[in-house]
Structure 1
């Protein structure tokens, strides 16, 4: 039993030490007086006892011990000499010891007191530091234990010094189990032991390490033995001569697994996007799935065309022997789909994890699977309303079901299913037609081009925006120009008409007003015709009425028509003609081409300028050249000369009129005739040269006998003499105009305003030619001609008919001919054109001019 001393008991003990020692010494001296060990002088021993008592008990026990020692020493001296009264020498000695004992007691007591005080202070300070260090360690441990990451501290010998709560959760080891153990024995895989120890040695020698202050991902061991991935950051911690390494670790196994599955989905999607056929895609898909999931064997089974049986398609394994073994045996199998590949997969339309049924004897390859050591299988059906195939994943370990893996494989299988269906469809289409295969390839290339073009979309949008702005500006300029060009001749026509109506002009002034009205009316007709022509070219509805034409004659007529305008500006027009140049063309359109080129030359050539019109044969072509000495063309504008609505000067102060359509129409007409046109100009002030080519035709114009008068001479003033012509128009002004034109040409004209009356007159007078409008009340011109064409020939059913109407569209032209008219003329029509069309219908020749 242990005795517990109180402070009071300890103080009593301090006071007893000295007296007991003195008593022990006195006893020892008493019993050794008559022996060889007798102590001759006990004074030194008594001094030691006083010192011991002071050192042990302090100043007060020392004084008591000093008094007892002095009393005993006096007794000792008196006994030694056997006298009561001591000798003087002994008295002095006794007195000196009496002073020595207290002095020693006081000195030792003071020294002990100071020593104890100093020692106590050191003890208190040390205790305080230990308490602070302990509190700091507890705070640090509490902080580390509250951290979301595992924290491990090791010394340079890889001994574990710290292990927080999260480390226990992450690795499964309790703190008490690992403190003092080597880290290599706890969480570092065997393959990394050497590298870990070498890293510690390198840091001790150089102060540097390959992973110090870096964030890396490394494998680690769990207490259960499974491998996990951790994100590791190591920091060296120096404390005086002590060195430890602190490491924060985070379990990223789930994250790595998630990243692995996401990467796998991306890789599969990329393959399905890049590949166009199943044969090329399958090896890449299987290899990517096997390597991405780290399953030793991956197989693909597909159904036949009737979707009744599974057949083996291909497999992948990093073991070539295993791959070839499964491939050779499985290729011989043809398994009914309704039974499934495995007992647990019948009717499955989602991935299934299987472990227990692999050795089932019902499975055709059970022995081969068992021999290969496979313990786990994931069956992943490829499904589209019906099973079209399956993916099979084999593993040699007994894997636990992974819900996230099954979800990922389900998503991947849907994409692969769509790809397989698409590939099958493409294969079927390929078998049906080689031509379709080419189109599919072309479409693929087009998609590639589109993908490349999409990358340039931003810059192209800017270009399109600028083009739209330009087109909008050109539209506004064109509308302003057309308003100006229409109003200008209209103003002249209206003004001169008012003057003629007032009867205030003499004959000369009346003639000038008529000429002005005629001139501006033709200009307005030309503008409207240009606008309509542009519309026809845009919609692709321009139709040419081709016949064999002598281009030389048309050139001569065009030159003659522009001579008055050229003479007014003193322009010298020089024509170089090579003689007959027969081409296949529309005479009206060819005249329009020549008129546009020559009128432009006159317009842009200043006074006293020159115009050269040259027609020559070059090989199998006729080359028309129109060269002027006019204002020329700016090189910057030269590429846009033949574009619609383009004018070099579109401002309100422009010097030359026009819509900017003439040359565009000219180019389209020439190309419609199988020819080409080019323009050349050295720049402003140097004139311009337009060169057009037309292919020569081997045919010649048929001979049409001219109309002769009673004396046998050709009649040029009365080309329609002797013809009876029936005119149908509901407008009185139009009736009067046509009647006047026909009578002046020598024809006998009968006029009516209704289709019904015209039908009766036709049967009665049997005219040579019928001229009819379309838009009339009750019955239109189409109904009239239909009624006429149903008549027998002797009653006028074959009469030559001209449709003269304001409906001038190409569709109207076609409808008129289809209904039964022989010719379609658009209002307004020139007298010469009308006479020429009538003459052509009845077989009479009228010169172009």
Structure 2
């Protein structure tokens, strides 16, 4: 039997649409002659509705996926909402939609976008009070409101919906950690939305709320990041100014003490008093250095001038710095240094590490005690130890002492002074060199040992690490005409005195304007300038000086001593950067080196 199968759509007398599936075919006898037809008609309306619902559901899922992607990648969710609501309205066959946002006063909703409204209606409901309309009530209650068969609903707040000839209306608040507003959709073509359609609207509202929340959080994070950045810049500026303001008064103190100490006619008591002044002034300068170092370390801004250096040389230099205090406390020193091993590191920073360790050992060891410094090779490391017979460290403190602003035995910390930064700085500097530092002690009253392990360098040590004072200082030829630009009166007096004491002629200026006037009045051989001046920076002075054609060398003498300050002065054309406080030897050395390099 040959068959035919097909589907047909019919409209009943009552207006309902039905679908049928028809199966028909011809019947034949044994000889193959057609003898009749047979057919089956089956009502498949429910199946067609089910298929339509499945397709509609799949369309809704695709819509939600597109919406989620759209809102995820955008930086401005509000700009995307009109297009998204257009797509949702098309999916629901909704002729009207409205989107409201909460105003800053949080008492009204302001229309963000809408469709299906005439201009007069749009103006009338552009701003509504919370609770005034259906959508404003949904926002106020923070819950959805769905009205099926709107025309039969007698709720006064639905009067506008009836005027708009809407048959079904659904409103969802945009609410998460806060209320954002509401979205609503209405249709004139049917009296109800399906649950599946309502789920789509709810999901879109949730996605929009999440996007708005993410945007707010992103903006908040950006704002806080900007605030932190501004705070960091303010902190950097504060520390730089603090460093300058604290260092500047130390220069006349240290320089005066150094000059007076050079007088051979001084009594031993006066000479000892001047040494006390010098040591304490230098200690104050080191405390300032420690504060600035800790800030750089915390922000990962420590810069190293790495090269192969002999650790024995580093230890010997650190010992020389501490030797006056060591001798004053009558400590017995024993040395066992391996001369052959080198490390790849920053000589100045490593000297800072061992100066801190030795200074602590001297400070915490009673007069007459013992101090041992040892250096040895251990596999691929160089191991340096500083051991003392001092106050010792309780087991509970042996890790904590490497934390910033910590010292063992808090009740006695004022006895020994310091900020508690030295060991934290040591630990950070050793670790950026690829090494480790540990502390061991049998306990209180039994001394302590600090052990530093640093990787062995593959290349032999170079001789460039020798301290400046170790090399003979070439003297400049004859007396120099020097322009000193400095606004701190006492510093002006003492630096002028220092320069005159070694045969130079000095003219002074307290600001950039006066400095430039002096340059126009006579010829100078050298400029020495502070960075912080009343009418600008020493960098500005040098830049303007170069612009006007003055090519004399310049030395920065300033309380600004951070790495970025040094880089800034070099970039501006300063040949040297001296950080206050300075002594006569340092100033003379810088001038001598400047003119030796020009020969």
TM bucket by the smaller chain? 0.5 to 0.7
Shift of residue 689, structure 1, vs aligned partner: 1.5
Among 606, 615, 620, the alignment partner of 2:375 is 615
**Counterpart check, 1:693 vs 2:453:** yes
Shift of residue 827, structure 1, vs aligned partner: 1.4
CA 1:805–1:664: 2 relative to 1, 3 Å = same
What secondary structure, in the 3-state scheme, does the structure 2 residue paired with 1:301 have?
Answer: helix
**Structure number with higher relative contact order (C-alpha < 8 Å, ≥ 6 residues apart):** 2
What is the CA–CA distance in structure 1 between the aligned matches of 2:296 and 2:290, rounded to whole Å? 10
Aligned residues: 397
Give deviations 1:605-660, integer Å, cap 9, x for gaps. 22332222223344554332212222211011112111122122233696433222
Shift of residue 680, structure 1, vs aligned partner: 1.7
Shift of residue 831, structure 1, vs aligned partner: 4.1
**Counterpart check, 1:640 vs 2:403:** no
Q: Where do residues 16-415 of structure 1 align in structure 2 (5 Å cutoff)?
A: 299=54, 301-303=57-59, 337=91, 414-415=201-202
Of 686-695 and 775-784, the range deviating more from structure 2: 775-784
On the 8 A contact 1:720/1:747 being kept in 2, the answer is no
CA 1:705–1:697: 2 relative to 1, 3 Å = closer
The match for 1:820 is: 573
Shift of residue 814, structure 1, vs aligned partner: 4.3
The match for 1:796 is: 551
Among 586, 592, 595, the alignment partner of 2:352 is 592
Among 720, 729, 739, the alignment partner of 2:475 is 720
What is the CA–CA distance in structure 2 between the aligned matches of 1:779 and 1:750, rounded to whole Å? 22
What secondary structure, in the 3-state scheme, does the structure 2 residue paired with 1:644 have?
Answer: coil
CA 1:729–1:380: 2 relative to 1, 3 Å = closer
On the 8 A contact 1:380/1:409 being kept in 2, the answer is no
Shift of residue 778, structure 1, vs aligned partner: 5.0
What is the CA–CA distance in structure 2 between the aligned matches of 1:582 and 1:833, rounded to whole Å? 28
The match for 1:555 is: 315
On the 8 A contact 1:382/1:416 being kept in 2, the answer is no
What is the CA–CA distance in structure 2 between the aligned matches of 1:836 and 1:727, rounded to whole Å? 17
What is the CA–CA distance in structure 1 between the aligned matches of 2:522 and 2:342, rounded to whole Å? 43
**Counterpart check, 1:529 vs 2:289:** yes
On the 8 A contact 2:474/2:593 being kept in 1, the answer is no
Q: Give the gaps of 5 or more residues in structure 2.
A: 1-49, 65-89, 95-115, 117-144, 150-167, 173-181, 212-245
What secondary structure, in the 3-state scheme, does the structure 1 residue paired with 2:406 have?
Answer: coil
What is the CA–CA distance in structure 2 between the aligned matches of 1:597 and 1:551, rounded to whole Å? 14
CA 1:833–1:555: 2 relative to 1, 3 Å = farther
Shift of residue 556, structure 1, vs aligned partner: 0.8
Give deviations 1:137-188, integer Å, cap 9, x for gaps. xxxxxxxxxxxxxxxxxxxxxxxxxxxxxxxxxxxxxxxxxxxxxxxxxxxx
| The structure with more helix, counted as a fraction of residues | 1
What is the CA–CA distance in structure 2 between the aligned matches of 1:544 and 1:705, rounded to whole Å? 13
Shift of residue 840, structure 1, vs aligned partner: 5.8
Shift of residue 828, structure 1, vs aligned partner: 1.3
CA 1:640–1:570: 2 relative to 1, 3 Å = same
CA 1:523–1:419: 2 relative to 1, 3 Å = closer
Give deviations 1:179-229, integer Å, cap 9, x for gaps. xxxxxxxxxxxxxxxxxxxxxxxxxxxxxxxxxxxxxxxxxxxxxxxxxxx
**Counterpart check, 1:807 vs 2:560:** yes
What is the CA–CA distance in structure 1 between the aligned matches of 2:459 and 2:574, rounded to whole Å? 27
Q: Where do residues 676-755 of structure 1 align in structure 2 (5 Å cutoff)?
A: 676-698=436-458, 718-722=473-477, 724=480, 726-730=482-486, 731=488, 733-739=490-496, 741=498, 748=504, 750-754=506-510, 755=512
Q: TM-score normalized by structure 2?
A: 0.53
Give deviations 1:42-80, integer Å, cap 9, x for gaps. xxxxxxxxxxxxxxxxxxxxxxxxxxxxxxxxxxxxxxx
Q: Where do residues 415-814 of structure 1 align in structure 2 (5 Å cutoff)?
A: 415-418=202-205, 507-544=267-304, 549-579=309-339, 582-651=342-411, 655-698=415-458, 718-722=473-477, 724=480, 726-730=482-486, 731=488, 733-739=490-496, 741=498, 748=504, 750-754=506-510, 755=512, 761=519, 765=523, 767=525, 770-777=527-534, 780-790=537-547, 796=551, 799=553, 801-814=554-567
CA 1:645–1:670: 2 relative to 1, 3 Å = same
On the 8 A contact 1:625/1:692 being kept in 2, the answer is yes
CA RMSD of aligned residues (A): 5.3
CA 1:699–1:506: 2 relative to 1, 3 Å = closer
Give deviations 1:310-361, integer Å, cap 9, x for gaps. xxxxxxxxxxxxxxxxxxxxxxxxxx95769xxxxxx9x95869xxxxxxxx
What is the CA–CA distance in structure 1 between the aligned matches of 2:208 and 2:413, rounded to whole Å? 68
CA 1:652–1:681: 2 relative to 1, 3 Å = closer
What is the CA–CA distance in structure 2 between the aligned matches of 1:725 and 1:587, rounded to whole Å? 35
Shift of residue 748, structure 1, vs aligned partner: 4.4
Q: Which has the larger radius of gyration?
A: 1
What secondary structure, in the 3-state scheme, does the structure 2 residue paired with 1:651 have?
Answer: helix
Shift of residue 735, structure 1, vs aligned partner: 3.9
What is the CA–CA distance in structure 2 between the aligned matches of 1:643 and 1:705, rounded to whole Å? 30
Q: Give the gaps of 5 or more residues in structure 1.
A: 1-294, 309-335, 341-346, 354-378, 389-400, 426-485, 707-713, 845-849
On the 8 A contact 1:549/1:584 being kept in 2, the answer is yes
CA 1:337–1:657: 2 relative to 1, 3 Å = closer
Shift of residue 742, structure 1, vs aligned partner: 5.2
On the 8 A contact 1:726/1:762 being kept in 2, the answer is no
CA 1:780–1:655: 2 relative to 1, 3 Å = closer
Shift of residue 727, structure 1, vs aligned partner: 4.7
What is the CA–CA distance in structure 2 between the aligned matches of 1:725 and 1:594, rounded to whole Å? 41
Shift of residue 834, structure 1, vs aligned partner: 4.2
What secondary structure, in the 3-state scheme, does the structure 1 residue paired with 2:399 have?
Answer: helix
On the 8 A contact 1:774/1:782 being kept in 2, the answer is yes
Shift of residue 670, structure 1, vs aligned partner: 2.4
What secondary structure, in the 3-state scheme, does the structure 2 residue paired with 1:641 have?
Answer: helix
